[in-house]
């Protein structure tokens, strides 16, 4: 069941010893993105990046999931204007994410699917628990896999990307490591300690050096991002007009009996 209207903050930001921890906090919805969570997640990223005391940013999810993607309750109720606005909001979030000057570590504690996997893939380092699972599952809800395909292609290659997208597979942590989708897999009990070790090491580096390097990484990917963003706006508009996405989202929410699911 979606907990958008509950008293939970949906995104939290905590800073300790130079590390900003951003937590997607809608565990009943498996931390799936709705409009409020997208907006607050973006604000948290900007706040962490602007804090001169922060040397590294960690993103994670509350409960048993990292982020299950797009909240399909939102999708099922969306009209054409809302669909277009949502694509624009995702692209704005991704632009912010790509422009961060601080190194970003994805602490992947559970399922990362759809838009949640995209957030993980845009992070600089991906450290996964043995309990983590990954998927680009858009076809399960009648959506098109555009931006996610672009990210996967650049990280794991064309063949592996096509298999994940076409079969809408949920891949366990060990297989994700073999594919190169994550950098490390550690026992769940050691996840926090390993992430802390990594952040402590990165905190030794010159913030200016890191920022310059990250700016160059962004520039290297600017052409791909622009093409993927244009394709996403065009493709999702066509897909929404066809009725496939709304129908797929409604069927998904009916199957899950009120649980938000992966994009």
Which alpha helices (H) appear in the chain, and where do they start and end?
Answer: 35-50, 72-76, 80-98, 115-122, 147-156, 158-167, 173-179, 191-202, 207-242, 244-256
Average pLDDT, the chain: 90
In this prediction, residues 170-199 reach a mean pLDDT of 98
> With a threshold of 0.85, does the pTM exceed it?
yes
Is 240 within a domain?
yes
Closest CA to 70 of 248, 215, 235: 248
Joined together, the tokens standing for residue 228 give 């993927």
Q: What percent of the chain has pLDDT over 90?
A: 76
Looking at the predicted structure, is the pLDDT value of residue 149 above 50? yes
Specify the higher pLDDT residue, 35 or 211.
Answer: 211
- Per DSSP, the three-state class of 139 is helix
pLDDT tens sequence across 206-243: 999 999 999 999 999 999 999 999 999 998 888 888 87
In this prediction, residues 18-46 reach a mean pLDDT of 96
pLDDT at 73: 73
Place of tokens 């604000």: 43
pLDDT at 142: 86
Is 217 within a domain?
yes
Instruction: Report residue 247's pLDDT band, with 50, 70 and 90 as the boundaries.
Output: low
Query: Which domain CATH number covers 198?
Result: 3.90.226.10
pLDDT at 231: 94
What are the Cα distances from residue 79, in Å, to 70, 234, 235, 237, 241?
16, 16, 16, 11, 9
pLDDT at 6: 45
Looking at the predicted structure, is the pLDDT value of residue 7 above 80? no
Contact 113, 136 (CB under 8 A): yes
Looking at the predicted structure, is the pLDDT value of residue 179 above 90? yes
Is 261 within a domain?
no
Is 210 within a domain?
yes
Is 125 within a domain?
yes
Domain count for the chain, please give it.
1
Is 4 within a domain?
no
pLDDT at 262: 42
Domain of residue 112: give its range.
Answer: 10-256
Is 3 within a domain?
no
Is 56 within a domain?
yes
In this prediction, residues 174-195 reach a mean pLDDT of 98
């Amino acid at each position: 069941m979606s907990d958008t209207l509950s008293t939970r903050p949906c995104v939290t930001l905590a800073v300790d010893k130079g590390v900003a921890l951003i937590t997607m906090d809608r565990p009943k919805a498996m931390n799936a993105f709705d409009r409020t969570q997208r907006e607050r997640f973006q604000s948290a990223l900007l706040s962490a990046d602007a804090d001169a005391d922060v040397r590294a940013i960690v993103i994670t999810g509350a409960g048993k999931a990292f982020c299950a993607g797009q909240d399909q309750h939102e999708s099922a109720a969306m009209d054409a204007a809302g669909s277009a606005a949502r694509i624009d909001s995702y692209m704005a979030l991704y632009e912010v994410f790509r422009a961060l000057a601080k190194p970003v570590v994805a602490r992947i504690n559970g399922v990362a699917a759809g838009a949640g996997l995209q957030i993980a893939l845009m992070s600089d380092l991906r450290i996964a628990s043995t309990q983590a699972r990954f998927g680009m599952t858009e076809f399960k809800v009648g959506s098109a896999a555009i931006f996610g395909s672009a990210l996967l292609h650049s990280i794991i290659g064309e063949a592996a990307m096509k298999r994940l997208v076409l079969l809408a597979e949920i891949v366990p942590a060990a297989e994700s490591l073999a594919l190169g989708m994550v950098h490390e897999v550690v026992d769940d009990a050691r996840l926090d300690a390993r992430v802390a070790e990594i952040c402590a090491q990165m905190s030794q580096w010159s913030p200016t050096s890191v920022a310059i390097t990250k700016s160059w990484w962004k520039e290297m990917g600017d052409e791909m991002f622009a093409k993927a963003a244009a394709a996403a706006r065009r493709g999702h508009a066509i897909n929404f007009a066809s009725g496939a996405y709304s129908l797929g989202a409604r069927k998904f929410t009916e199957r899950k009996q009120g649980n938000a699911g992966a994009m």
